[in-house]
Amino acid sequence: MPPFLYIFLGALAIVSALGVVVQRNPIHSLLALIATLMTVAILFMGEDAVVVGFLQIIVYAGAIMVLFLFVIWLLNLQVETGPTGHLALKLFGSLAAALLVTELFFILAPPRLQVKFTHEPPGYGSLASLAGKLFTDYLVAFEVTSVLLLAAVVGSVALARRLPGTDDPRAAGKIAS
């Protein structure tokens, strides 16, 4: 990836990430978050992590953000007008943010952060190499995670399910189907 493209995409990612926080309209924040995810995905692809980049778009930008959209719609979130919260909260918030920035500065300051550029062999980020790692070195972790996700799916279905006659009759059978 040429340096100017890297800098451009990085700047775009930071600007859109700021947009997520700065926008008052929740839908605009969501769009800014999608833009951030997309630019980070393209950065991944530019660094040969092609599969990670595409998965980021498919899973995060394409599916999870749609879920966020639904939540915003269902909660009917409106544009925030005027300042919110108490002065003490704001003070505490600024203090915490300042602490975080200081901490990040000490972690990322040049003497500690050793940037090493390594040249990976071609096909490093391809699906074949990723799948090879997942199904050999990390097989147990991979399978355990999938069982965990399956349990979460079953649990959410069980929670959302309404038995006929026990609850609001209009909801019976509709949510589960």
Partner 1 sequence: MTIELIAGAIKAILMIVAALSLSLFLLYFERKGSALIQDRIGSNRATITGLGKRMGMPNLGIINTTIADPIKMFTKEDFVPAGADKFLHALAPFMALFPVMITFVVIPFGDTISISGHRIDLEAANLNAGALYLLATIGLGVYGVALAGWSSNNRWALLGGIRATAQMISYELAMGLAIVSVIMTFGTLNLQEIVRGQGGVWFGFLPRWAIFTQPLAFILLLVAGAAESKRIPFDLPEGDSELIQGYFTEYSGGKQAVFMLTDFAEQALVAMLLTTFFLGGWQIPWLMRDGFHLPGGAFLALPALAVSLIGVAAFLVKVVALCVFLGTVRWTLPRLRYDQLMRLGWKGLVPLGLFNVLVTAFVVVATGRVQ
CB of residue 150 to partner 1, shortest distance in Å: 12
What is the dihedral sign for C-alpha 168, 173, 176, 177? negative
- Return the number of the residue (17 or 54) whose C-beta is nearest partner 1: 54
Cβ(9)–Cβ(53) below 8 Å: no
Site residues, partner 1 (CB under 8 A): 25, 27-28, 31, 34, 50-51, 54-55, 57-58, 61-63, 66, 69-70, 73, 126-127, 174, 177
Measured distance CA(152)–CA(97) in Å, rounded: 34
Cβ(48)–Cβ(74) below 8 Å: no
Q: Which helix (H) or strand (E) holds 51?
A: helix 50-55
CB of residue 110 to partner 1, shortest distance in Å: 36
- Return the number of the residue (17 or 69) whose C-beta is nearest partner 1: 69
- Return the number of the residue (13 or 34) whose C-beta is nearest partner 1: 34
- Return the number of the residue (95 or 175) whose C-beta is nearest partner 1: 175
CB of residue 112 to partner 1, shortest distance in Å: 36
Measured distance CA(58)–CA(66) in Å, rounded: 11
